[in-house]
Amino acid sequence: MDQSLEVLYQQATQAFECQNYQQAALLYEQLIEQEPDHVQFVWQLGLTYLLLGQEAEAQFTWMMPFSAGSADQVEAWTIDLAQILEAEADRQAKAGEWQTVWLIRQHLRELLPTEIHNLLHLVQAAIRLGRFDTDDLTALTLTPLLRSQSFSNLDPTALLQTVVAALEHDFTNPQVQTFAEAALSQIEDADRILDILVAKVHELDQRSRLADARLMSYLAEMCLRYAPNDLYLLKVLSNCQEQLGDYAEAVVTARHYLAACQTPIDQLTAIGFLCIKLLKLGSGWQEVEVLFDRQKTLIQRLITDYYPDPHQPLLPALLSFCCFYPYSLCDRPAEHRYWQNQLANVLQTDLEFQAQLNGWQRQSRPVLAQGSANRKLRIGYIARYMVQHSVGWLARWLMQHHNLDRFEIYTYHLHVPEISHFTNHWFVQPVTHATQFANTHWVQVAQQIQQDGIDILVDLDSITYTETCRVMALKPAPIQVTWLGFDASGIPAIDYFLADPYVLPDDAQTYYSEKIWRLPQTYVAVDGFELGIPTLRREELRIPNDAIVYFSAQDSRKRHPETIRLQIQILQAVPNSYLLIKGLGDVSTLRESCEQIAIDAGVSIDRLRFLERDGNELVHRANLGIADVVLDTFPYNGATTTLETLWMGIPLVTLVGEQFAARNSYSMMINTGITEGMAWTADEYVEWGVRLGQDLNLRKTIAAKLRQSRQTAPLWNTAAFVRHLEDAYQQMWQIYCNSLSPNSYGC
């Protein structure tokens, strides 16, 4: 190519790259006039026409050389043109121009109809454009191609990425599933398959959306063909099965998970995981007790033999799996807390070891001026569930009443991809500063809290969401507190557990590792609850207007068979009464269990009603109005459900125990001025249930007292509660400052 042509070609190339396609076309036309046998110019001109939207001109331009070439030339030219189109399709893909990508690759397909990589890219482009359907698979003949021959040069990553994209688009479609199976048959490297598919499972798992559960389940089952004992996949599959309402299959998979565990640490986690699945199924209560005994042996072995292992870190989920479900079984807090505290102690040691591997260093706090014990304190609240969840519904009022003249309030939102309107309104706007963490490593979260200079860090989740325990174990704040989510975690880095005079018995400090800080009245308060429109009507449930309606709304983990028996005894003693049962869990198993207990007691099963969950919390609260009496569970009481019941002015029957989970309702009733319905034995529970069902005037009296309590009771006075809480924070800080030497850091 002479110099003038070279200059002209460079100008054409520059115009093309700058997307000045009109100018590029003119220059390529000039090049062809001067060098008509240079087919490279022809290919570029046709591509330029295509990008100008002149598809017919592009096809005509390309076909001119082909019509006059020999067989060998046509073969060579086809490869040349295909390479040019491939390169431009890749360039357009990087720019996100998927319509153009699709168009170019359709023309590439006309040149090479069975070029497998181009067909795969066509599928991906169609998916991105939202135009992919089964007709595309049929037209592309992609599945028959994959079935009929082996492609030695096939890029397995590209193939698997297409499979994942197609499944994510419409995995329920049989043709998509057939394509996926044909694609997997092309790949001999099982590790490559697992790398891609498990990565997608993990991505979906992090999003934690119910809409993804079916796809996660499908992908996990696909992966388990290649790694049948993979612990992560088995756990994910079981969780998905539960989310989709298949509780029995979730238990089967959880059993497989336990059987696949090789180490005591994995077995510890798996036993707890299986126990929770069994309780959610609503069966296997005796088996759970046996498993708990086995688990205690493993905990003791872990405590005795523990050493930090970078290849098998301990997970905070151990606290939930090992210590959460015993609350459903029996009321023995001293025993349960012993094992929980022992495990939490080992867990903190391991988390500190893991954190050091990830660059954690606890920073010294700067020396502050004399008298700074009275300065404006920085209070941090950390949680996953500052959302429409029990934690969020109860903690939200706190943020409205904090005195920002005395305190700076920080909120730390863990694993929250985006801040919802609810969270923004209740936990972001009212506070000094809010920080959202989507997939941030827990060490970085601790570093941020430390950098913010938080004085008192409050864990709202506790073992409701055990990932929060990772951060708390590093003690990024000099004072750390557990409140609200569930019982205390037992982690040594926690200084205080907020309670009141009632929710823990007088001797509780003997078995808690945290210092119990008892607020003077109540450990929780709300200003009220919003209500929706009720959707339950007696006539639709076939319940007479003059009947007594008992109501129980708890998930299956709280429905111990002995509690169900007590509730059936109440029903038996009160003619013309019905029991409405609602909550999370396997409805068929729950129905079978309740009906069998009723039959054994001689109570007609027609007096039981099993309700679907309501669409949202506001409707659920409104539907409580159908009840004459609410029956609490034992040894695991309601908490948010109890507050909602009392706010609605409905009499409640509760059995008071010793553990935190068995005293929530007791504390809340005391703090509304209600003792009617409070039982200390099983017989008293039945007696109160019967009495409240039979005595209309007593029910009216309680309802009136509850309505009046809205104006007077500590439970409904968040402003006063927050003043008590702020005084507690100030006292905690003063104690901390007094514990330091004059030259110490921190105050």
Q: Which of 423, 418, 360, 431 is nearest to 386 (CA)?
A: 423
pLDDT at 324 over 80: no
Overall average pLDDT of the 675-681 stretch: 98
- Look at residue 373 in the predicted model and tell me its pLDDT: 53
Query: Looking at the domain assignment, is residue 532 inside a domain?
Result: no
Residues 6+ apart with CB under 8 A from 744: none
Last residue of a domain, one of 518, 553, 587: 518
Which amino acid appears at position 460 of this protein? L
Query: Looking at the domain assignment, is residue 530 inside a domain?
Result: no
- pTM for this predicted structure: 0.85
Same domain, 431 and 550: no
Q: Which residue has the tokens 């007292």?
A: 705
Long-range (24+ apart) CB contacts under 8 A made by 56-63 are 58/107, 59/107
Structurally, how many domains does the chain consist of? 4
Q: Say how many C-beta atoms besides its own lie within 10 A of residue 515's C-beta.
A: 13
**Structural element, H or E, at residue 630:** strand 629-631
Q: Which residue has the tokens 């509760």?
A: 654
Query: Looking at the domain assignment, is residue 573 inside a domain?
Result: yes
pLDDT tens, 291-317?
Answer: 988 988 999 999 998 989 888 888 888
Same domain, 40 and 121: yes
Query: Looking at the domain assignment, is residue 643 inside a domain?
Result: yes
Query: Looking at the domain assignment, is residue 479 inside a domain?
Result: yes
- The DSSP output letter for 517 is E
Overall average pLDDT of the 465-492 stretch: 93
Which range of residues forms the domain containing residue 421?
Answer: 372-518
Same domain, 347 and 378: no
For residue 699, what are its two tokens? 């029910």
Query: Looking at the domain assignment, is residue 529 inside a domain?
Result: no
Confidence of residue 747 (pLDDT cuts 50, 70, 90): low
CATH number at residue 11: 1.25.40
Same domain, 550 and 509: no
Confidence of residue 134 (pLDDT cuts 50, 70, 90): confident
Query: Looking at the domain assignment, is residue 74 inside a domain?
Result: yes
- Look at residue 36 in the predicted model and tell me its pLDDT: 86
For residue 33, what are its two tokens? 């006039």
Same domain, 585 and 696: yes
In the chain, what is the straight-line distance between the N-terminal and C-terminal CA atoms, in Å? 80
For residue 78, what are its two tokens? 């086809």
Same domain, 427 and 466: yes
- The DSSP output letter for 367 is P
Same domain, 482 and 605: no
- Look at residue 588 in the predicted model and tell me its pLDDT: 87
Same domain, 345 and 376: no
Q: Which residue has the tokens 């019509």?
A: 67
- Average pLDDT for the chain: 92
Residue 526: left if φ>0, alpha if ψ -120 to 50, beta else—which one? beta
CATH number at residue 394: 3.40.50.11380
Confidence of residue 744 (pLDDT cuts 50, 70, 90): low
Residues 6+ apart with CB under 8 A from 536: 611, 623, 626
pLDDT at 158 over 50: yes
- The b/e string for 682-719 (b: 16+ C-beta within 10 A; e otherwise) is eeebbbbbbbbbeeeebbeebeebbeebbeebbbbbbe
User: In whole angstroms, what is the distance from residue 272 CA to residue 288 CA?
Assistant: 9
Which amino acid appears at position 420 of this protein? S
Same domain, 84 and 214: yes
Comparing 266-270, 315-319, 485-489, 707-711, the range with the smallest average pLDDT is: 315-319
Higher pLDDT: 40 or 509? It is 509
Last residue of a domain, one of 197, 224, 251: 224
Higher pLDDT: 665 or 374? It is 665
Q: Which phi and psi (to 5°) does residue 725 adopt?
A: -65, -40
Same domain, 311 and 392: no
User: In whole angstroms, what is the distance from residue 656 CA to residue 650 CA?
Assistant: 18
Overall average pLDDT of the 29-41 stretch: 89
- Look at residue 369 in the predicted model and tell me its pLDDT: 39
Same domain, 673 and 591: yes
Q: Which phi and psi (to 5°) does residue 525 adopt?
A: -150, 150
Last residue of a domain, one of 357, 383, 408: 357
Overall average pLDDT of the 65-71 stretch: 87
For residue 529, what are its two tokens? 């609850």
Sign for the CA dihedral angle at 137, 138, 141, 144 comes to: positive
Query: Looking at the domain assignment, is residue 525 inside a domain?
Result: no
Same domain, 180 and 283: no
CATH number at residue 657: 3.40.50.2000
